[in-house]
Amino acid sequence: MSKTSGKICMGTILAQSMVMREEREGMDDQIAEIKKLHPWMNGDQAECFKLYIDGIGGLHHFFGKVLPCGKGVEVKDTTNWLATYDASLLTFLVVSAHDRAIRMEIMPNNNKMLKFHFHKRKHAERNDLIWQRHPTIEEAIAVVRTNSR
């Protein structure tokens, strides 16, 4: 390997590291903005709410209510376009929930609104208690494919 290719690799690694740091800082800014609007939220609750906000395209698209729900949050919104492909909010929420280790539950609120419950968990070992852990998307896919008919 030549010296220049080593420099390019180091330059690429440094650039990737800077992008990752900027993304983390951007996420921290978004969490701070959420906590500013909802001072009752702790970090986990803000992270849970951010999952929903990311799915709908930002805080400026949110016209519902967010309330505390145990250690998580309850989101009530007029979202009526959950789908797995063309209006892919459902897919985004499911995949992102697994990536971020956030348990999500969807239920009707009334004839015009849906209610979402979000609770932060952790990616962990099988010997952790069921209400503490959350599978990765790969683990969830394997379970579904194993148990499918």
**Residue ranges covered by each domain of the chain:** 1-37, 42-147
Alpha helices in the chain (DSSP H): 3-37, 43-56, 89-100, 137-147
Name the residue with tokens 């949050």.
Answer: 73
Supply the CATH classification number for the domain 42-147: 3.30.980
Instruction: Supply angle C-alpha 115, 116, 117, rounded to 5.
Output: 125
pLDDT tens track for 82-131: 877 776 888 899 999 989 989 899 999 988 889 999 999 887 766 666 66
pLDDT band for position 30 (50/70/90)? Answer: confident
* pTM for the whole structure: 0.73
